[in-house]
Amino acid sequence: MIILKIGGSVITNKSQENTFKKQTMDRLSKEIKRSGKKIILVHGAGSFGHITAKKYGLQNGFQEAEQIRGFSLTHKAVQKLNSYVIESLYNQDIPAISLPPHSMLRLNNHMLKTFEFEIFNMYLKRGFFPVTFGDVVLDDTLGISICSGDLLVLSLVKYFKPEKAIFVTDEDGLYTKNPKINSDAELINSITENELENLTTDADSHDDVTEGMKGKIDTIKNISKCGIDTILLNGNKQGRLYNVLVGEDDTYTIVHGGRA
């Protein structure tokens, strides 16, 4: 079984609110279907969630009544994106089922407190294709909070111990520098957890590396500590997801877990 994360940057236009890249998602759905793999899919919120959540300051917890409206609007937006993803999978005859985080888990000061993992197992055993996503959730300390797709991936990896975790991004993998603004950035084909520590230190010293990338690297480091390999690939390149799912050679970064 594989834990697969499709980033919001791949299936939405993050600069335009609520803009879905249907053609890209449909191609990824075809590659998933063709692979025949048992998968739990996590997708990001992209422009369907981040803009509204930031507007209402939901990442800071409950501070004023207006955030209740913001919470509801954010969930409405990410649920809409999820419906598009589910429809795309369904059109490829994949029996996708939506599992919204807000109804299955709670956080405590942004950290996972409870998660009903067994519901994923129940659906998998019956032949379904579970799909979950970045969402707004209740938080015991903060009142409300945001559960990122990366936190979902890490939590699911720890519970299920899959054969590998895959992050579908808008880049070919991890680079020595930010490739969007550094022409001399080099793709890292293979890296260990220890080497990733050095990359994180180096990356954190540069202004061009976003907090989001820091968080993703931290997530991957924790996945590696579970003994699971993580692969980062470019979802905008046709066939790349399929090749990684079935174990064929292609362009990507592999971060070796303890099994390597």
pLDDT mean across residues, the chain: 91
Contacts of 83 (CB under 8 A, 6+ apart): 98
* pLDDT at residue 200, as a whole number: 55
The predicted model gives 3-23 an average pLDDT of 93
pLDDT in tens, 27-80: 999 999 999 999 999 999 999 988 899 999 999 999 999 999 999 999 999 999
pLDDT in tens, 110-162: 999 999 999 999 999 999 999 999 999 999 999 999 999 999 999 999 999 99
pLDDT in tens, 205-258: 433 323 456 778 889 999 999 999 999 999 999 999 999 999 999 999 999 986
Rounded Cα distance between 246 and 164, Å, is: 11
Locate the domains of the chain by residue range.
1-162, 167-260
Share in percent of the chain as helix, strand, coil (round to 5): 45, 25, 35
* pLDDT at residue 117, as a whole number: 96
Rounded Cα distance between 178 and 181, Å, is: 6
How would you classify residue 61: left for phi > 0, otherwise alpha for psi between -120 and 50, otherwise beta?
left
Rounded Cα distance between 156 and 132, Å, is: 11
Is the fold of 1-162 the same as that of 167-260?
yes
Pick the CATH number of 1-162 from 3.40.980.10, 3.90.1150.10, 3.40.1160.10, 3.30.310.50: 3.40.1160.10
Tokens coding 158: 């720890």
Does 167-260 carry CATH code 3.40.1160.10?
A: yes
